[in-house]
Structure 1
């Protein structure tokens, strides 16, 4: 016969059972709980902010406090963990090609300048220009390029909760490029460009202070021929020279000698009308590897890219050459220049008030005042066989000067005078109305300008074309123009200076 149990018994029985279980558990041998093992990873950053680059102590503070640069708004571009590297190339700023300007006085009397390159002479000159931190770097002129970036490699020990730095490395990387006039001395039909890399480890800490810590820099280029010629493939368009393409060394050796030289080459045929300009486009960058020891290596994301163009134009003074084409060239005429000042005054006043120029046109538009795509000029080369374009430009402007109503020379214009025209007869935007015929009729200006000033301005313009490798990209043949210059990188402009 069963009995009914009271609630008190139930509670007491439950407590007794719980106590028994606790006694049993306490009599069992203790099981060791293995702590979660820490993992090791290397993380890479690119610093493009000039202020942070000048004050690396701010970066060190953030690393030591947080184990990352998130607080500074800088995200990793590479990460190495478990023997694998994940690359995240830095985002590029979407900007137009920057302009650069050369004073026309450098081409006095139409002569080739004694020093045509005007290279960046020292790293200090490079560092002194704020554009060096931009994605495209600083293009001083078509032959002189410079870029500065600060790379950080951070060695981390990470638990489930956080990562802590056990070492870090900061490297200033200055890349200076040297475009060339003329072919490779060892093989004249080959085009080339030289680069100086200065990789200076300015901060080493922890694991990167080990005597075995290493760094490697490799220079790479992806090339493409604008128009294919013969049996040359895109692998020939831009490639590093063997033996001048990389350097791997101890960090101590990089500190002692940060300088390394690279060379890019582009294969071509002898310059001739048969092969055209043989344009080859190259996109170059540097890749870095950092290794504090043999256990881990960080394959750094590639650096910001630069652009180089190789050509073999038979109508230029020097048939082969290389230039940095991610900038819009400009030739400046000064109003105070005693040899071209009257021409400069004519161009400035005409562009400022096109409707007041001759021939009369109310909605006249005169291009070439800025590097913008819609406000620039393009060269026509007579030696390329485009006589008809230049001749019609010239004939049209001269006819305007002879027409009834042509204004007399300005009272202060020194004699003798010539019929000066703008835009130039040597451009597709000249007086001949070649682009969109009928739409741009009379979109040019003429004025009586001192003969010597007019002649000297023309000589300087031609010498600049030849020296700075300004090409005729056949603007009137759309299918060929689009192949030769798909991004309108052969445009130029004419600034007027005081």
Structure 2
């Protein structure tokens, strides 16, 4: 940021000072409402101004630097009609800091928080009451002898607030939705029944199934010409189907499971276990996605057999399901939200 003054004599504009800093904003999404309440969702931010250089008019007595976080909020479609625009995203009790540039150089840290207040307590009947906020960190300089504030805006980010009544961990919360969420399973994550404290439960069998389905879908059952499955790339994500979100979602998720079961018991199903084998029939995409086994019944025949089933170790299949459901809650993956599975070695 330069400090420039212009005059008639000598004519021209001249540099009167320079301020250079590197500014870092770290946002933290919240699990739960503000102070345990049922209305206000929030997110906290740590902000650091790392001052490299401050010269000239920036060091005069009376020079000030104010750091703030502005937010433009909007309610998503489906929000209750009582939702007020001004409550979608507002500054909370940590509005930032105003200090001299020299004090910022000595201590460059401050905090922000953003709040979003929903008009109703979480309830399946009123939906997720989603609000989004576009936030921007702003530095404003007040310099003696300058008639206007000099400001510099940082990069814009996005925060999403929700009141999802079906979230098993906390009905209120916030996340940063700029990236497609991803859950990772590793092929090397095998169970260890002889672990010293308690048996370790892995997910290797499910990772093998999902990895094969994404890398070589033509080799999977049921067979389908030119078979291609979503869920491994942010350009072709899956979408969560939260069966607790409503009657339609419950029916579709249950139909995914029924279609999977019919396929697993069909005459052509390979690798059927014996009566004493501890295997489950695993499906991908999962029954908790809109891309699940019954997709063709809801979206058209082009999706017939656009899934994969395989008999896998029962313990690892159930552990993979527990991890998935916990991740849905912890990362606040809402109904219809896109996400992917990443398969590691």
- On whether the aligned pair clears a TM of 0.5, the verdict is yes
What is the aligned partner in structure 1 of residue 89 from structure 2? 238
Structure 2 gaps of 5+ residues are 191-201
Rounded to whole Å, the distance in 2 between the matches of 1:329 and 1:228 is 23
Match of 2:103 among 227, 249, 253: 253
Match of 2:134 among 283, 293, 313: 283
Matched, 1:402 2:265: yes
Rounded to whole Å, the distance in 1 between the matches of 2:281 and 2:79 is 43
What is the aligned partner in structure 2 of residue 378 from structure 1? 239
Deviations 1:86-121 (A, max 9, x none): xxxxxxxxxxxxxxxxxxxxxxxxxxxxxxxxxxxx
CA contact (8 A) 2:2 2:15 kept: no
Match of 1:262 among 112, 128, 132: 112
What is the aligned partner in structure 2 of residue 345 from structure 1? 208
Rounded to whole Å, the distance in 1 between the matches of 2:11 and 2:299 is 67
- 1:415 Cα shift? 4.2
Match of 1:329 among 168, 174, 181: 181
CA contact (8 A) 2:38 2:122 kept: no
Q: How many residues align?
A: 325
- 1:418 Cα shift? 1.3
CA contact (8 A) 2:79 2:126 kept: no
Matched, 1:457 2:320: yes
Could you say what secondary structure the match of 2:301 adopts? coil
Could you say what secondary structure the match of 2:260 adopts? helix
- 1:296 Cα shift? 3.9
What is the aligned partner in structure 2 of residue 416 from structure 1? 278
Match of 2:16 among 143, 147, 166: 166
Alignment map for 1:121-132 (pairs within 5 Å): none
Rounded to whole Å, the distance in 1 between the matches of 2:21 and 2:219 is 58
Could you say what secondary structure the match of 2:16 adopts? strand
Alignment map for 1:310-325 (pairs within 5 Å): 310-317=161-168, 318-325=170-177
Rounded to whole Å, the distance in 1 between the matches of 2:287 and 2:54 is 60
Structure 1 gaps of 5+ residues are 1-151, 474-489
Rounded to whole Å, the distance in 1 between the matches of 2:301 and 2:38 is 45
Could you say what secondary structure the match of 1:300 adopts? strand
- 1:156 Cα shift? 4.4
Could you say what secondary structure the match of 1:370 adopts? coil
CA contact (8 A) 1:155 1:207 kept: no
- 1:162 Cα shift? 5.8
Greater strand percent: which structure?
A: 2
- 1:301 Cα shift? 4.1
Deviations 1:189-227 (A, max 9, x none): 210111111123320112222232211122211111113
Deviations 1:237-264 (A, max 9, x none): 00102x5224222222222322211111
Matched, 1:204 2:54: yes
What is the aligned partner in structure 1 of residue 30 from structure 2? 180
TM-score, structure 1 length as denominator?
A: 0.62
Could you say what secondary structure the match of 1:235 adopts? helix
Structure-2 change in CA distance of 1:187 and 1:424 (3 Å): closer
CA contact (8 A) 1:157 1:166 kept: no
- 1:324 Cα shift? 0.6
TM-score, structure 2 length as denominator?
A: 0.88
Could you say what secondary structure the match of 1:181 adopts? coil
Structure-2 change in CA distance of 1:442 and 1:209 (3 Å): same
What is the aligned partner in structure 2 of residue 100 from structure 1? none
Rounded to whole Å, the distance in 2 between the matches of 1:310 and 1:297 is 35
Matched, 1:300 2:161: no
Rounded to whole Å, the distance in 2 between the matches of 1:253 and 1:246 is 14
Rounded to whole Å, the distance in 2 between the matches of 1:158 and 1:377 is 61
Alignment map for 1:102-141 (pairs within 5 Å): none
Alignment map for 1:220-239 (pairs within 5 Å): 220-226=70-76, 227-239=78-90
Could you say what secondary structure the match of 1:221 adopts? strand
Rounded to whole Å, the distance in 2 between the matches of 1:468 and 1:186 is 18
Larger radius of gyration: 1
- 1:287 Cα shift? 2.0
- 1:231 Cα shift? 2.4
What is the aligned partner in structure 2 of residue 190 from structure 1? 40
CA RMSD after TM alignment: 2.1
Could you say what secondary structure the match of 2:210 adopts? helix
What is the aligned partner in structure 1 of residue 2 from structure 2? 153
What is the aligned partner in structure 2 of residue 493 from structure 1? 340
CA contact (8 A) 1:420 1:448 kept: yes
What is the aligned partner in structure 2 of residue 367 from structure 1? 230
Rounded to whole Å, the distance in 1 between the matches of 2:288 and 2:12 is 66
Rounded to whole Å, the distance in 1 between the matches of 2:152 and 2:50 is 18
- 1:409 Cα shift? 5.5
CA contact (8 A) 2:79 2:128 kept: no
